[in-house]
Amino acid sequence: MSDDPIRLQNAQRDIRDAYFDHDSGLYTLNCVPGAGKSEVTDHISAEDILRRYVAGDPTPEQRVAAISFNRSEAESIIPDICDRLREIVEHNLVPAASKVSDTEVEYLIQRIRQAPFVGTIDSILRDVLSEIASDIGFEEMPVVGKTARQKHLHAACYRGIQEDPDLAQRVERLEDAYPTGEYDDDVSEMLETAVTYCRDRRISTEGFRSNLEQIVEDVYAEGRPRSFSDVVAAVEHCVGADIDESAYDDIGDDERGRICDADSRLHGDWRARIDDFCTVLEEYRITYRQTIRDRGVVSHTDVAYLVDAYFDDRLGNVDDAHRARIRQRYQTRIQSLIIDEAQDVSSIQHAALSHLVTSSARVFGAGDLLQSVYLWRHAEPTLFETATVEGEYLGINWDVHEHRTAKTTYRCVPDVASAINEISEATLTDPARGNLGELDVRYPGLEADRGSTDESNVHIAAFDPIASDPDSYAWVSPVEGRGEATTLATLLSKGLADGSFTDENDDPLGITVLFRWTSKMDVYEEAFEEMGLSVRNASEDLFECSVVNVVLDVCEWLVAPADPERTRALVTESNLGLEPLADNFEAHHWDIDAVLDDCDLTDAHQHVLDGLSELHDRRDSFLSRPAGTYAEDIIETLALRADSYGCFDVDPAQRVANLDALVETLEEWEADEHFTPRELTELVEPFRVSPYMGPNQPSTADTSHDVEFRTVHDAKGDQDDVVAVANPGFSLWKHGPQAQRFLTQGSIAGLAPPTDTEIPSDIALPPFANGLYDPEDTRDRDVGLRWATGHWCDDVAKSADATSLVGPDRLKRVAANERAEAWRLLYVSLTRARDHLVVPLPRSLPDESRPRDRWLDTIRDGLNFTGKQTGSYTVDTDTGSFDVGVNDVALRATWTNRVTSRDDDVAVNPPRRTDLDPWVPRFAHPSTLYPLTDDPDEQVLDHLLGNALHTDANDVPDDVPLQFDRLGPDDVGSCLHEVLTTLVEREVPEHTLRSLGDEVRRVFDDVVGDHAPRTGDNERDKLFSFFREEVLDDFLASDLWEEIQRAERVTVERPIDGLVTVDDVEIEIHGTSDFVVESPSGEQYVADLKITLTDQTPETRRRYELQVTAYSYLFEQQESSEDPVDRTVETFGVERDTIESSWPSEIVERRLATLVRQ
């Protein structure tokens, strides 16, 4: 036990004193991050149990309920209470401590470990359900919270609804109106969500119908439109100000009539679909109510709903005397209720808990309203807000109510706290950002308890971005130049190498990189690994893992292993490595035993097929065994944990952990049931389609990685020495309510208008990018006038409110609450840092600053970063100042990870640091090999920093018909290059390319919008004309296009890597060939594209020739085939040329040798 125990201080001590000064009452503690909230709840729980024991209570642990919303934190409550109890007694921290012996302490700890009311809120409510299950129609205690079982159950309910002849037409109309989409909920998913929402809000289907209809009444505030003027009035209603009606002057009378007629149809169709949906929902709820009892499967929401409905007498046919006894039992037992993370409690959890306590109890709630980030999971933070302000909680208006705010943080150093305050106070209290929603935000500020340091604790990874959207791949990881991911990776890597991010023993500090979304993690991971950093992605989904999916593929095959089509799928689509045997299998009618008998197999193929044959023979036994058991048999028979033949690109420790997690997950889902392979295949299908719905891959507890990637939600409740906030340039409206067809938030529920109403899409309706209603296009801030938007009112009408969003009231409230929560999520991410806070920021923005819409701009403003600072600068605040370092690491330092793995094209030997200059490059690229080796003194620094390496070139001729307003020459080249490769990758037919069909323009607009979203129409049209006349026409006339047309296979942007060893120094070459074209005869044609805006110089030609030679060198290293490989650089644009090279491949090694030996 520590010689220096934790002692409650300031607000911690005050709220503890208030709690024990009274026998009943409500006590609330609002805590800043790192304020020791869990320490307070642990202490109060331990001391409460100790006091009751000393007072003579023989079962004190049964009087105290200690619960948390967070499952991972709940698992540690009992151990933490036990540790705190020992600490209280050992150090005599409270008077009761002196009245117990060590033996009694251990006795108490044994009792605490068996405490019935410690854990999650769900666990306590589950305990109640076990007492009442038989009284409310269950044969036995149902299985709780098994997501796969729930999905299976809902699928069965929907099938029953589809087969109901009385509902068939309604279901068909709904499926036509709301078809399945990649990112859209279909009808079955909306019904599932609706059931959960109605149970959480405790409302009837009629109440739900009323909610949906209120949205329609809000959207059509003036009723069904009868003229175009009514449509204009609706626009003004959404904006909240008069608009300039001259914007509609170009809309003729016929078009106005078409819009009005379409709007009238939409109004009628919308109401009709709501009627269909609610009629179907009522029957779905009846079916669901019975099915959960028949199958004995319920969700956590169901548990809370059933407990509340039982005590609230909403279930019927309940034994009143039994209910009274159960209520009395829990209210007598629970004399103290301690709730951690109280801001995350849902409405139905709160209602259910309210039946278990009386006004004679003591209730302690600890939380942080600024860390309320679970609206999407139906958290209801206003309940905790009301408790802290008004003293009303759990249905009781408490006579005694004490509230404190803990401002002292014991987590971060002072400069990090000051930076967080500077960013967050203005943000969270701003009525256009953090204070936009329903919560009344008050920012207490962080007061750091830790001592200051002599080093910089706040760091900016600054970079010069290309002109593109800050949330695009081009911004994060451009094809050439230095992007956000590489810049951040460079700073962290070199910070580890030069000691900035190491401790006093020179051991690396823990580093966590936080993301709002997972979508950019892959490119970040590539950039980090290129800088020598090993990454553990803690947000990867279990059902995305290749080896896990192999187990499930085999289970699916075992449904009918004699079926040739199932064997075909297993051989050609699974990751078992059998695809090279496809021809053998086809010749033997997809018979595994025949292939084993007749074919000459490698050891790896022999092993896999022997295993499959054995599993086939044992298949019948699997029908009567648990899925977890036969999944384990599959793993063992195929030796998947060992992966002796290297089929899976998964770290060995992670591979083993994932397979173990799969078996445990299946066992957990099954409970006492047994799933056959067919049933298991149906059960896991939703999770294979949408892996994010399933569990994450487990941690291997392997500390060998340098950096951990996590989402902000996943990291809530945790901390790390160094925290970096990645990808801060996403737009807050990107996944807003305008992109959702079904909304359920708090008291608001909404079903979007149907998608199948005929609406003219060729008539603009400013300011709405998608006119009246076009839900297919969610790239803009709206899908039309008649649904939610992400527009600001003052962007539409300058006289409008700058803190209000465009839209009808209820939809605006949904958008505002989501926006406000996104700003609280930024606060959560910043406050995970202990010693260092790191953010990647551009030196300039591609457009005007948008602090209402992006974290990036807000962070820049909070840190006073202008883009011109270098080294270190000071930010002055009202309470002092703090330093910010800009790329403040030693650029020549090199980090070497302690764990290495051998790969043929990856360097593993450390450089000879005593013999080499520290700037000798370890990585090279074919496209930059010429300038790097031709003039290393001039180019090496830009190379190491990831900047573009330029070769002397001619100026762009005046007669090139381009404006270069938003897009500079380099950006034009990147855009048109991406347009061309995308068209080929999507296999757009030649006739569409030649006729410039809609798909060509759509691809062009998507790419330009990604690079420079605010490009004007005139510049965009001129660029498209240049693309058509100078690029596309020549491309279609080229030998390259002819080869593509005749090809057996075309691969776009294929990575080609190799390794050059010079004097024991290993230099990795990483290239990406734009096109690899394979002909039916086996010949390969490798081409790289260049978009030229000038005539070539001798320098650029030599650069291209060396690039071609480098690709030759790499292919010679990689390819074992003797078939010829033609390699060229093709230029299109101002100059059309095909560049080959007569240089020998050895020149690559000779050129790189000059870098090592000079």
* DSSP letters spanning 263-284: HHHHHHHHHHHHHHHHHHHHHH
Low-confidence winner among 445-454, 734-743, 819-828, 995-1004 (lowest mean pLDDT) = 995-1004
Residue 912 predicted with pLDDT over 60? no
Confidence of residue 246 (pLDDT cuts 50, 70, 90): confident
Residue 760 predicted with pLDDT over 80? yes
Residue 1121 predicted with pLDDT over 50? no
More confident residue, 402 or 645: 402
The length of the chain is: 1158
pLDDT score at 934: 73
Closest CA to 42 of 112, 126, 100: 112
The arithmetic mean of pLDDT across residues 855-876, rounded, is 96
Confidence of residue 955 (pLDDT cuts 50, 70, 90): low
* Calpha distance 736→789 (Å, rounded): 8
pLDDT score at 401: 97
pLDDT score at 903: 40
pLDDT score at 924: 73
* Eight-state DSSP code of residue 248: G
**Average pLDDT, rounded, for the chain:** 89
The arithmetic mean of pLDDT across residues 762-769, rounded, is 88
* Calpha distance 1152→922 (Å, rounded): 10
* Calpha distance 1034→1029 (Å, rounded): 8
Helix/strand/coil for 931? helix
E strand or H helix at 301: helix 300-311
pLDDT score at 1141: 74
Confidence of residue 953 (pLDDT cuts 50, 70, 90): low
pLDDT score at 510: 95
Tokens matching residue 475: 């911004």
pLDDT (tens digit per residue) in 1023-1049? 888 888 888 999 999 988 988 888 888
Strands 1065-1078 and 1084-1092: antiparallel
The arithmetic mean of pLDDT across residues 692-700, rounded, is 83
Helix/strand/coil for 610? helix
The arithmetic mean of pLDDT across residues 739-763, rounded, is 94
Confidence of residue 277 (pLDDT cuts 50, 70, 90): very high
pLDDT score at 915: 41
Identify whether 931 is preceded by a cis peptide bond (ω within 30 of 0). Answer: no
Are 1118 and 1076 within 8 A, CB to CB?
no
Q: Residue 1077 is which amino acid?
A: V
Are 359 and 401 within 8 A, CB to CB?
no
**CB burial string 89-105: b at 16+ within 10 A, e below:** bebebbebbeebeeeeb
Confidence of residue 909 (pLDDT cuts 50, 70, 90): very low
Confidence of residue 919 (pLDDT cuts 50, 70, 90): very low
* Calpha distance 774→644 (Å, rounded): 53
pLDDT score at 533: 93
Closest CA to 630 of 564, 558, 573: 558
Cα angle at 903 between 897 and 905, to 5 degrees?
100
Residue 942 predicted with pLDDT over 70? no
* Calpha distance 888→885 (Å, rounded): 5
* Calpha distance 209→263 (Å, rounded): 22
Helix/strand/coil for 379? strand
* Calpha distance 1009→198 (Å, rounded): 40
pLDDT (tens digit per residue) in 723-744? 999 999 999 998 899 999 999 9
Tokens matching residue 1039: 């030998």
The arithmetic mean of pLDDT across residues 358-362, rounded, is 97
The arithmetic mean of pLDDT across residues 484-506, rounded, is 95
**Domains detected in the chain:** 12-135+307-412 (3.40.50.300), 146-298+732-812 (no CATH), 428-539+704-730+832-843+865-886 (3.40.50.300), 542-693 (1.10.486.10), 969-1157 (3.90.320.10)
pLDDT score at 917: 44
Low-confidence winner among 296-310, 869-883, 1112-1126 (lowest mean pLDDT) = 1112-1126
* Calpha distance 360→342 (Å, rounded): 20
Q: Residue 713 is which amino acid?
A: H
pLDDT score at 916: 39
E strand or H helix at 1050: strand 1049-1062
More confident residue, 140 or 911: 140
Confidence of residue 940 (pLDDT cuts 50, 70, 90): low
Low-confidence winner among 830-834, 964-968, 1139-1143 (lowest mean pLDDT) = 964-968
pLDDT score at 1086: 83
Residue 932 predicted with pLDDT over 80? no
pLDDT score at 696: 87
Confidence of residue 8 (pLDDT cuts 50, 70, 90): very high
Nearby residues of 495 by Cβ (< 8 Å), 6 or more positions away: 459, 501, 722, 889
pLDDT score at 1018: 83
Angle between helices 187-201 and 205-219 (to 10 degrees): 110
E strand or H helix at 148: helix 147-162
The arithmetic mean of pLDDT across residues 473-491, rounded, is 92
Are 27 and 18 within 8 A, CB to CB?
yes
pLDDT (tens digit per residue) in 529-547? 999 999 988 888 899 999 9
Low-confidence winner among 504-513, 859-868, 1119-1128 (lowest mean pLDDT) = 1119-1128
* Calpha distance 88→96 (Å, rounded): 9
* Calpha distance 322→325 (Å, rounded): 5
Are 390 and 15 within 8 A, CB to CB?
no
Low-confidence winner among 160-169, 199-208, 619-628, 939-948 (lowest mean pLDDT) = 939-948
pLDDT (tens digit per residue) in 871-906? 999 999 988 899 999 999 998 888 876 543 334 443
* Calpha distance 629→622 (Å, rounded): 8
Helix/strand/coil for 515? strand
Strands 447-448 and 748-751: unpaired
* Eight-state DSSP code of residue 555: H
Are 663 and 628 within 8 A, CB to CB?
yes
Tokens matching residue 182: 């990649």
Residue 1051 predicted with pLDDT over 90? no
